[in-house]
């Protein structure tokens, strides 16, 4: 499979053209900033013991009516999650996430936009009439 195709095609089909342009512009300028993780700096919507939900600054607005993310409170990759962090996420999937969202999306390792801080996308798709 051509991962370059996946990286370029998928986001453009999920974001409006304006949102995709803003994402690409900010991503280029963010690569030049050494000021830390944007996920760590994001405001929380909901906070749990080891996890928190945050708004997605660049939502998939072409296909979703709600797009947020859930991240571990501490800055870590997926492989660095502790058992208690994994257990809380498992519990949140069957309670809070299940009650507020329709899909939980996780990018595969080659497609993660912020590989240093594990995050999952929480979405409610737009309804089609």
Q: What is the pTM of this model?
A: 0.82
In the chain, % of residues over pLDDT 90: 60
Residue 72 host element (H or E) = strand 64-72
- Average pLDDT on 112-126 reads 90
Alpha carbon 34 to its chain centroid, in Å, reads 21
Instruction: Report the distance separating Cα 57 and Cα 51, nearest Å.
Output: 18
Q: What domains can be seen in the chain, in order of their start residue?
A: 3-125 (3.30.428.10)
pLDDT of residue 32: 55
Read off the pLDDT band of 2 (50, 70, 90): very low
Read off the pLDDT band of 103 (50, 70, 90): very high
pLDDT of residue 3: 46
Bigger pLDDT: 77 vs 13? 77
Backbone angles phi, psi at 36, to 5 degrees: 105, 180
pLDDT of residue 25: 86
Instruction: Report the distance separating Cα 66 and Cα 30, nearest Å.
Output: 24
Instruction: Report the distance separating Cα 119 and Cα 121, nearest Å.
Output: 7
Tens-digit pLDDT profile for residues 46-74: 999 999 999 999 999 999 999 999 999 99
- Average pLDDT on 19-38 reads 77
């Amino acid at each position: 499979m051509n991962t370059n195709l996946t990286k370029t095609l998928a986001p453009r089909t999920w974001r409006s053209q304006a949102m995709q342009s803003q994402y690409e512009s900010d991503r280029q300028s963010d690569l030049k900033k050494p000021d830390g993780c944007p996920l760590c700096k994001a405001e929380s919507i909901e906070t749990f013991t080891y996890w928190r939900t945050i708004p997605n600054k660049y939502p998939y607005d072409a296909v979703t009516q709600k797009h947020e993310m859930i991240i571990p409170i501490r800055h870590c990759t997926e492989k660095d999650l502790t058992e208690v962090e994994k257990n809380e996420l498992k519990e949140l999937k069957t309670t809070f996430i299940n009650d507020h969202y329709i899909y939980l999306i996780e990018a595969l390792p080659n497609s993660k936009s912020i590989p240093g801080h594990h995050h999952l996308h929480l979405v409610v798709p737009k309804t089609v009439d």
